[in-house]
Amino acid sequence: MYKYKNILLPTDFSLGSEEAFEHAKDIAKSMGAKIHLLNVIHPVVYPTGLDLAHESLINLEDNLEKASKANLEKVAKRLKDLGIESKSTILMGKPSDQIMEYSKKFDIDLVVIATHGSSGLERFIFGSTTEKVIRKVECPVLVVHFNK
């Protein structure tokens, strides 16, 4: 049996991500693996040529980062309470690209990701992060199907 050492759990804190968490923690617990919690914040696109208060848009990114940090701390505490080692990271950028780069940099040997987090118009415009991750990462990917 293959023994995973570093499991990457990308999360957007959706219900789908919670479902993926359940699988990742069980695998990590059974194999003594470390879980890398990753939240990627897609940068805010600033409109050009408009007299908008850029300060409020900058505050939006700061608030997203603060909320992400607080949520990651909660998830990390749950893992610690289960005796599972974890590392939390927040990155800015395109989620699929950041997941791929992170998996290479930290020798990830399994990615556990939900079928979807965001949906609707955002998914139509940006495409499925999960589909892109499956195509781009070099390690196995466990896709956890989530039904609302």
Across the beta sheet with 110-114, the strand order is 86-92, 34-41, 6-10, 110-114, 141-144
Q: Is the pLDDT at 106 greater than 60, yes or no?
A: yes
Give the closest residue to 34 by CA, choosing from 65, 3, 74.
Answer: 3
How many Cβ atoms from other residues are within 10 Å of residue 44's Cβ?
Answer: 13
Given a cut of 90, whether residue 118 has pLDDT beyond it is no
What angle is formed at CA 76 by the lines to CA 39 and CA 2, rounded to 5 degrees?
Answer: 85
Tell me the pLDDT tens digit for each residue of 8-17: 999 999 888 9
List Cα–Cα distances, 102 to 106, 121, 131, 136, in angstroms: 6, 27, 17, 12
CATH fold label, 6-144: Rossmann fold (3.40.50)
Tell me which of 145 and 22 has the higher pLDDT.
22
Provide the residue ranges of all domains of the chain, joining segments of one domain with +. Answer: 6-144
pLDDT tens for 93-104 read 999 999 999 999
Determine the pLDDT at residue 130: 87
Rg over alpha carbons for the chain, rounded to the nearest Å, is 16
For the stretch 26-85, pLDDT in tens is 999 999 999 999 999 987 666 655 555 555 666 777 888 999 999 999 999 999 999 999
The pTM of the full predicted model, rounded to 2 decimals, is 0.86
Three-state DSSP class for 34? strand
126 falls in which pLDDT band (50, 70, 90)? very low
| Predicted local distance difference test score (pLDDT) of residue 125 | 41
Which of 8-17, 21-30, 136-145 has maximum average pLDDT?
A: 21-30
